Amino acid sequence: MIASHLLSLVVFSALVSFVFALLLRDDPREQQAFGLKVFVAMVVGAIVSGWLLGRI
């Protein structure tokens, strides 16, 4: 069950970061850097949020 949620989180984050990078940056290198930053921020943010909510 946890693995399926984590997989869904990673797939969703990858798709959203890909679209954001295409829409918000013009240069391909900037798109890659921005997309990676958004992806990492979404995955780490969701994991930290879930951990914090689990401690309540």
Q: What are the pLDDT digits (tens) for 23-55? A: 999 999 999 999 999 999 999 999 999 999 999
DSSP state of 26: -
> Which of the four pLDDT bands, split at 50, 70 and 90, describes residue 2?
low
State pTM to two decimals.
0.88
- The range of the structural domain enclosing residue 26 comes to 2-54
Of residues 42, 44, 25, 45, the one with CA closest to residue 33: 25
Check: CB of residue 15 under 8 Å from CB of residue 43. Answer: no
Contact between 53 and 16 (Cβ < 8 Å):
no
Residue 55: φ, ψ to 5°: -90, -10
Q: How many domains does the chain have?
A: 1
